[in-house]
Amino acid sequence: MTTFKQMITLVFLSVIGSTALAQTATVVFFKGGMDSVLSEIGDELLQGARPFVPHLKGEVTNWSNYGSVCQRIAADPQRGQVILVGHSFGSHAAIATARCLQQNGNVSVHLLITIDTIPNAGIEGSSSVISNNVLRNFNFFQSRDVILNGIQDNVRANGTRTGIQSRRISFWSLSPHSAIDNRVSLLSQVVIQASLRQCGDSIVLPGDNHKPSDSPSISASDIQHRSHILQRYVRTGCLQN
């Protein structure tokens, strides 16, 4: 019989600890430079999260609103799990929001997903240094766009990559930077759902955490196929193999 680990070549999930649903969560998706960019995937991520948390505070917003988002989350005693997601300028905004939350009560960010981060001079602080209040960061990037290629390597302030997984996504597109969000949409949904199941610690992507720019690319088609498989296991409670 094929085991779960044998079936999952993209992502494997080995459960340690509780798999109870989070009761409350705050999920914010930061859009990139244009108002239309990523609004669809942001709504998809929120919709995918709703069945996994009784009380979801979800928001899709522009990157420029990161300061007010930080203040609102920091002031909310009922925020629950905090999950931040962004693409392009929105990823820089998500990183800055996490840093702001650390400075305002050391609020934990349970999950940070950054998609092809592009630095923005209008956002305070580094676009690649992940603050210590972030428990997990999944960083997806591509390097085939003629103009915009995302940051490849997120790190902690001390130079380590604890809790950070950066992976190159390989696919063909006339505009890879604009298209990468859709390529990792389903995987991002699964990662969020696993976090809300409180079993996100054990999601591991193939490749090298120490030299992400040198790691083999993960094809977008493989992500799509394998994410469907993993999603069934997360939805049944992160069952052990």
pLDDT in tens, 50-69: 988 999 999 999 999 999 99
Angle between helices 185-196 and 39-49 (to 10 degrees): 30
SS3 of 79, please? coil
Q: Could you state, in order of their start, the residue ranges of all structural domains in the chain?
A: 4-235
Cβ atoms of 101 and 82 closer than 8 Å: yes
Q: How far apart are CA 37 and CA 91, in angstroms?
A: 13
From the options 1.10.10, 1.20.58, 3.40.50, 3.30.70, give the CATH code of 4-235: 3.40.50
- In the predicted model, is pLDDT for residue 167 greater than 70? yes
Chain CA centroid to CA 52, Å: 16
- DSSP sequence for 102-120: HHTT---BSEEEEES----
Q: Left if phi > 0, otherwise alpha if psi is -120 to 50, otherwise beta: which for 98? A: alpha
CA 45, CA 58: separation in Å to the nearest integer? 9
pTM for this one?
0.87
Residue 4 pLDDT class (50, 70, 90 cuts) = very low
Q: DSSP string covering 197-221, please?
A: TT-GGGEE-SS-SS-GGGSPPEEHH
Structure tokens belonging to residue 148: 């915009």
pLDDT exceeds 50 at position 131: yes
